[in-house]
Amino acid sequence: MSETPTMPAPSFAVTGATGHLGRLAVDALLRRGIPAGNVFALVRDPARAEDLAELGVGVREADYDRPDTLGPALEGIERLLLVSSPTTGDRVRQHTAVIEAANAADVGHVVYTSVIHADETELLLAPEHAATEDVLQGSGLPFAVARNGWYIENYTARISEFLERGEIVGAAGEGRISAATRADYAEAAVTLLAGDITDYQGYWELGGPSFTLADLAATITEVTGTQVSYRDLSGEDFTALLTETGMDADTAGFVASLDLSAARGELQTDSPALENLLGRAPTSLHDAVRAAVV
């Protein structure tokens, strides 16, 4: 009696796997039932991925700045999640090196974590993401782009500071921010990576239910019982305040510019894509704040 042949599971790789999002993506692949032996964590420092190795995940050195590491890291990989580099100013070169290595290794599908509205926004972070998207498109590789909105953790990581001051200070005005948790973005990226790739190729604007910074303050107040309010400043006044607290002028101007992008609505999306990819509602701001304070 002949047995029905089973297709071998494809091999998946995730870059930046010792970072927050990459690690969550590896976890999401394993939760999806992909055998650990088919999952490869691409990391700068394998010594920092021992916990992943213990789970049976393959750990390979891959440094965006050392193209000699990228070819061996991608050998035999069929699907790659390229987590964007945190090194602003140098990212297009770094991402291009990975995409070129993926092409040389005949990777069959690449998912790249970009930023919300990458090709139609004044957000200062966007040009490097848009340029990477262009490199990916020009590579001829099948791809999906996860245009992630803000992480809720950008705010929840600062809750103790907000509680101490009794206020959130910014320049985002009434701008709505479609933020979501890193875990939700990671799970969505894994759906784009591991699903039927013909369903998922292209560009996905991802974000959770939108909120203003006043809504954020109200949510923190409600969850903690400690009054936190939102104080809105002009871009100039916010920049000046940040420099007074010791931030260098360039960084202060950059941070204020992100809030001004929010004020212009550049961090908002009405796209249902995140919810659709997750197959459930994204984690709410309320639940994310509650999880951050317990």
Residue 18 makes contact with ligand NAP by CB under 6 A = yes
Angle at 118 between CA 114 and CA 119, to 5 degrees: 140
Site string for ligand NAP, 53-92 (x = CB under 6 A): ---------xxxx-----------------xxxxx-----
Residue 156 makes contact with ligand NAP by CB under 6 A = no
Taking contact as CB under 6 A, which single stretch among the options 4-12, 104-112, 150-158, 283-291 is the one that binds ligand NAP?
150-158
SS3 content of the chain, % helix, strand, coil (to 5): 50, 15, 35
Which residue pairs, CB below 8 angstroms and at least 24 apart, start in 228-233? 228/162, 228/163, 228/166, 228/167, 228/168, 229/166, 229/167, 229/168, 230/167, 230/168, 230/169, 230/170, 231/167, 231/168, 231/169, 231/170, 232/170, 232/171, 232/172, 232/173, 233/169, 233/170, 233/171
Element (H, E) at 287: helix 285-293
What 3-state class would DSSP assign to 115? strand
Which C-beta is closer to ligand NAP: that of 88 or that of 160? 88
Indicate the residue whose CB is closest to ligand NAP: 19
Least separation in angstroms between residue 42's CB and ligand NAP is 7
Q: Which of 19, 46, 71, 195 binds ligand NAP (CB under 6 A)?
A: 19
Least separation in angstroms between residue 284's CB and ligand NAP is 17
Helix extents (H) in 75-196: 91-104, 126-139, 153-156, 159-165, 182-194
Least separation in angstroms between residue 3's CB and ligand NAP is 42
Q: Which residues share a beta bridge with 82?
A: 112
Least separation in angstroms between residue 242's CB and ligand NAP is 18
Distance, in Å, from the CA atom of 164 to the CA atom of 54, rounded to the nearest integer, reads 40
Q: Which of 11, 12, 13, 16 binds ligand NAP (CB under 6 A)?
A: 16
Least separation in angstroms between residue 143's CB and ligand NAP is 17
Residue 21 makes contact with ligand NAP by CB under 6 A = yes
Site for ligand NAP in 98-127 (CB under 6 A): 113
User: CB–CB of 169/259 below 8 Å?
Assistant: no
Residue 93 makes contact with ligand NAP by CB under 6 A = no
Least separation in angstroms between residue 219's CB and ligand NAP is 18
Distance, in Å, from the CA atom of 165 to the CA atom of 160, rounded to the nearest integer, reads 9
Total residues contacting ligand NAP by CB under 6 A comes to 25
Q: Which two tokens stand for residue 151?
A: 């992480």
Residue 276 makes contact with ligand NAP by CB under 6 A = no
User: Which phi and psi angles does 7 have, rounded to 5°?
Assistant: -70, 135
Distance, in Å, from the CA atom of 184 to the CA atom of 291, rounded to the nearest integer, reads 14
Site string for ligand NAP, 195-224 (x = CB under 6 A): ------------------------------
Q: Which of 11, 22, 39, 288 binds ligand NAP (CB under 6 A)?
A: 22
Least separation in angstroms between residue 225's CB and ligand NAP is 28
Residues that bind ligand NAP (CB under 6 A): 15-16, 18-22, 44-45, 62-65, 83-87, 94, 113, 148, 150-151, 154, 182
